[in-house]
């Protein structure tokens, strides 16, 4: 593996991690009443709504650091699959007015995290390229 692969992994980790962390911090500051309502409407226990903090704050922070990277990326993938199921499943096959997929943002988080889970953290990470779950 060359030096550029590790830089690419760093850029991908930082992009997905920072952008998703912003969503999590917003929810932390403004509450998750909307998510709680979606969870309840689907017959799930309300406490499951708090999982959004794991998927949108803890996991992205670990991605940014490059610690337990693959596991954190899998948590984000699961978080995004649940988010699409609960809030966006009716939009799966719709386009925006400019022709883009209506779920572009969710798709980028989901598939970006999936790529990180497959690629690992790379050399520029706290856990190191060969670290456990990196």
Each residue's pLDDT tens digit, 44-65? 999 999 999 999 999 999 999 9
pLDDT number for residue 101: 94
pLDDT of residue 53: 97
Res. 1: pLDDT tops 90: no
Residue length of the chain:
134
Mean pLDDT of the chain: 93
Q: pTM for the full model?
A: 0.92
Which pLDDT score is estimated for 132? 66
Contact 58, 101 (CB under 8 A): no
């Amino acid at each position: 593996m060359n030096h550029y692969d590790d830089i690419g992994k760093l850029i991908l980790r930082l992009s997905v991690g920072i952008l998703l962390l912003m969503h999590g911090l917003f929810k932390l500051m403004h509450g998750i009443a909307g998510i709680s309502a979606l969870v309840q409407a689907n017959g799930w226990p309300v406490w499951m709504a708090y999982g959004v903090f794991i998927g949108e704050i803890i996991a992205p922070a670990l991605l940014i650091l490059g610690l337990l990277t693959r596991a954190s990326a899998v948590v984000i993938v699961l978080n995004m699959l649940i988010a699409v199921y609960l809030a966006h499943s009716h939009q799966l096959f719709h386009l925006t007015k400019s022709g883009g997929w209506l779920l572009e943002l969710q798709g980028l988080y989901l598939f970006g995290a999936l790529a990180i889970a497959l690629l690992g953290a790379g050399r520029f990470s706290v856990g190191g390229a060969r670290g456990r779950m990196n």
